[in-house]
Structure 1
Amino acid sequence: FGTTLSYILQSTKDKTSERCIDSFRTKLLDFENVDTAQRLSLAFTFKEIGRHAPTHFQRFAGSYLPLAYLGCHSDGKDEIEAWTTVWDENTPGTRAGLRLYQDELLSIVLDMLASSSWQQKRMAARTAADTLNNIGPSLKEKLAT
């Protein structure tokens, strides 16, 4: 599925790609209706899009990679490994990637913390803690301005 979708996304309009990415975000964060296997398949889809449609993936990296970093803070070991692969293959390194996408990531984390879902809050808290451990000083400066 991921390989096929990657070829389709290469020829779609930006609005269509954005809607597709929004549906990915919804699936990743819907803990009540989407199970671990579905979130794991989403990670594999991201991985295939990154491999087979790198131009598309990089054009929308500000949408894909913050979601991948969130996925790195899931509950399941397999999920974490799959999302970590996506993150590692598409960023220059954890700290550099976090600095590049800190605004998008912060926006998603704040939305998740305001959610009524405890699973979303837990994932957001793990993500925020890990982000602060990696780029805390630069993020502090950003929040102060």
Structure 2
Amino acid sequence: MDKKIENLLLTAFAAALIAMLGSLYFSEVKQYEPCVLCWYQRIIMYPMAVILGIAAVKKDASIAIYTLVLSGIGILTSLYHYSLQKVDFLYNTAPSCGRVPCTGEYINWLGFITIPFLALTAFIVIFISSILLLKTTRENKK
């Protein structure tokens, strides 16, 4: 098996695992209650941590098409959530999305790093890793 494929699988798995553990830290240790959009992002991320972990152990790059789609959906969800927090027009017109407002910012490091931004970063890392996995496996078949 190509070492590049193993590294890409481990990179994607690490991003998903760190995102999952980070979200659990914020909710279970820091006691930050997730909003509805945070739950949607978790619903996408948590299964990816499991399937990417299995794929990394089995060195199975065929998982890339599934993680590409899931991370793409996650990117859109996180980008929308982050926009609700940081774009004035969206912030002021954001609909109520449950007990915890989706515009709330439990953290705001350096003025732009919020929890949805962290999720967005993880989804992007997984998305790029998935594209590179697909590209590398196609090149190896030639």
* TM superposition score normalised by structure 1: 0.31
* TM superposition score normalised by structure 2: 0.32
Question: Larger Rg: 1 or 2?
Answer: 2
Structure of greater relative contact order (alpha carbons < 8 Å, 6+ residues apart)? 2
